[in-house]
Amino acid sequence: TLAHGISRIDIAFVLAVMAFNILVARFGMWPYSLVTFPGNAGHELMHWFVAKLFFAQPAFPSLWPRRDGDRWIMGSVAFAPSILNAIPVALAPLLLLPLGVMFVSNFMHPATGWTYLFCGWVAGNMLFAALPSGQDWKIAAPSIMVFGLLGCAYYAAVRF
């Protein structure tokens, strides 16, 4: 047993779910979207929640996958980005990392049987979806650069 009652078996099962997600993508978008739905929903809801928190006027998340040219969009949340809210809203899925770990320690570990499998599937998908997408990084990048330059200017002003 590791920290917070999470066992090595719990970790192995969650990692297996994440590996299965990668494997099932080979069978097409619809099987992939069904298998990864909890993570996709969590990813988009994190964007929505943080956009609400930062007054970014979010639209309710779209969780239905749709084709955009030669790629698929798993979901989206429209919001009004500003220099102040772009970073937290775009990188909001990172909040799924601690939520996924809490889910494993509080719900998956004490569960047994089908409940254990279900909780492991949800936790694995939450952790799988925790990384911001390429589009998320494109939204956050201008603000990251502005704040990085401001930080460098502040450091230079204080240092020299």
If one counts the domains in the chain, the total is 1
Greater confidence (59 vs 3) lies with: 59
Greater confidence (45 vs 108) lies with: 45
Residue 97 has pLDDT above 90, yes or no: yes
How many residues are present in the chain? 160
Structural contact between residues 11 and 120, judged by C-beta atoms closer than 8 angstroms: no
- Structural domain span for residue 74: 3-159
**pLDDT score recorded for residue 62:** 93
SS3 84: coil
Residue 1 has pLDDT above 60, yes or no: no
Range 130-138 average pLDDT = 93
**Closest alpha carbon to 89 in 78, 99, 100, 101:** 78
SS3 79: coil
**Closest alpha carbon to 150 in 97, 84, 105, 88:** 84
Model confidence at 113, in pLDDT bands (50, 70, 90)?
very high
**pLDDT score recorded for residue 4:** 67
Sort 65 into a burial class: Cβ within 10 Å, 0-12 / 13-18 / 19+. Answer: middle
**pLDDT score recorded for residue 6:** 85
Residue 17 has pLDDT above 90, yes or no: yes
**Model pTM?**
0.88
Contacts of 18 (CB under 8 A, 6+ apart): 124, 127, 128
